Amino acid sequence: MFLRQITDSALAQNAYLIGCQRTGQAILIDPERDLDRYFEVAAANGLEITAVADTHIHADYLSGARELVERHGATAYLSAEGGEDWQFEWAQGNRKARFLHDGDTFKVGNIEFKALLTPGHTPEHLSFLVTDLGGGADEPIALLSGDFIFVGDVGRPDLLESAAGQTGAMEPSARTLYESLRSTADLPGHLQILPAHGAGSACGKALGSVPVSVLGYERLFNGALREALEGGEDDFVKDILSGQPEPPLYFARMKRDNRSGPALLPGGKLPVPRRIKEDELDEWVATKGRAILDLRGDRRLFMSRHLLDSLYAPLDGGKLPLAAGSYVEENTSLLLVVDGESQLDEAVRQLVRIGLDAVDAWIPAIEATHAHQMTSAFPRITTAELRHVLEEDPEAVVLDVRSADEFAAGHVEGALNIAYTRLAERAGEIPGRRTIYVHCGSGLRAAMATAFLGAKGHNVVHVDGAYGEIGAPALSVK
């Protein structure tokens, strides 16, 4: 048996290529839309991808399952569980789709996969037990756990409500997750846990950086799993629902599109943005239906000079999909401002993975920022300086764009708290005609929020630096 974890570091998302080396057949579990990298790994190891499976209807990226089925003839294995509202609509009636219930099995070459219904994160969620029959095994080697069990955490059960808008769904989902986790008590402890996400994903609050684990180890040291196995339901529900990060706005759109079917990439290929010149920038600045994403890593350079109304969405550190997914509407035509052409491939992939396909143009930052008549800047102060501002102007508006959990642990007295990923839906709460001082924990999230609010016409100041440097008496710690 061949097994390879293929990771998207920006979204902390794991796909799995599992192949039978005797027959050369392979399956992809939870792939993203840009399939070329999976095909490269398969070809390098003498495998042909003949099947694909999604553990559930994803919220954080667009699945590549439809692309594999309709362009490449793969057989899709998808959940038939979860009820009428949680079916893969795009695959209904497709002769290459196989719909699975709890306990169903299928084979790819000499490898057997058994579907286990593990709801809670979503109603239709399946995990897959993997058994290498061709290698002589009569017990499974691994559990493809999707967003059910992670290393150090379990899947969050609140997204149906907090991201998809299903009021009243999070507590029942948490109770369902509790039962699902307890059902793992009979699984063998030697099972490898192959999760769909790692540290940095918005699909949990305490995911570990170790890429894989073992079920027996997780029973000992995964706090949420241990609480489900050993503790009471009410305590588990309270703990699992507290401290979850606010999901980016695009999560709701991903649920919708993965259910109905992600659009096929034209020709099966990634968009190729064209190189524009300085004299073409007037077609982009302040133009309806278009957005400018500045991908530079140095936020101080962005604050000191950037194209008018551009959004700050740094490519490094996984912030591009979070910023673009929170601030850019679907079907918006995009211009990328980059340090160099070498950034384009990764940037296009990250945007396509969240359904922002109209990546139409690019320009080097050094050229864009020399178009003086089309550039702007934001005032910047340090967190230490914020205390003095507040002493001189008690009426100053402070916007804290950290998570609600961070805010509750300590904040500037009188500050307004809106997580940077939810600003677009709560923009009406931002006071107009007043200077807004935007801060976070380090300055990065505040930089993205400052750019968004500035593009909306607010008078903003970027507060850069560590939160703790604000100092007393400005801080109010709960």
**CATH number of 460's domain:** 3.40.250.10
Q: Which domain holds residue 403?
A: 380-476
Considering the domain boundaries, does residue 265 fall inside one? no
Domain finish residue from 376, 392, 417: 376
467 and 428, same structural domain? yes
Structurally, the chain folds into a number of domains equal to 3
- Number of other residues whose CB lies within 10 A of the CB of residue 209: 10
239 and 354, same structural domain? no
139 and 36, same structural domain? yes
d(CA 136, CA 455): 61
125 and 45, same structural domain? yes
Considering the domain boundaries, does residue 264 fall inside one? no
d(CA 448, CA 423): 10
Considering the domain boundaries, does residue 53 fall inside one? yes
Q: Strand 290-294 and strand 311-312: pairing? A: parallel
**What integer pLDDT is reported at residue 478 of this predicted model?**
46
Considering the domain boundaries, does residue 97 fall inside one? yes
> Which residues neighbour 353 within 8 Å (Cβ) at sequence distance 6 or greater?
8, 10, 11, 32, 33, 34, 61, 62, 321
**What integer pLDDT is reported at residue 4 of this predicted model?**
98
411 and 337, same structural domain? no
330 and 406, same structural domain? no
- Tell whether omega for the bond before 247 is within 30 degrees of 0, i.e. cis: no
Considering the domain boundaries, does residue 154 fall inside one? yes
277 and 211, same structural domain? no
Domain finish residue from 349, 376, 403: 376
The answer to whether residues 62 and 33 touch, using CB atoms and an 8 Å cutoff, is yes
The arrangement of strands across the sheet holding 416-417 comes to: 380-382, 460-464, 436-439, 397-400, 416-417
What are the φ/ψ torsions at residue 339 (nearest 5 degrees)? -70, -35
Those residues of the chain that have pLDDT short of 70 are 472-478
Considering the domain boundaries, does residue 393 fall inside one? yes
CATH number of the domain residue 218 falls in: 3.60.15.10
27-42 burial: b if 16+ Cβ within 10 Å, else e: bbbbbbbbbeebbebb
Considering the domain boundaries, does residue 198 fall inside one? yes
Domain finish residue from 376, 411, 430: 376
**What integer pLDDT is reported at residue 193 of this predicted model?**
98
237 and 156, same structural domain? yes
**What integer pLDDT is reported at residue 472 of this predicted model?**
62
249 and 311, same structural domain? no
**What integer pLDDT is reported at residue 205 of this predicted model?**
82
274 and 206, same structural domain? no
Nearest to 412 by CA among 433, 388, 379, 430: 388
221 and 78, same structural domain? yes
- Number of other residues whose CB lies within 10 A of the CB of residue 48: 14
176 and 161, same structural domain? yes
Q: Which H or E run contains 194?
A: strand 192-195
Considering the domain boundaries, does residue 263 fall inside one? no
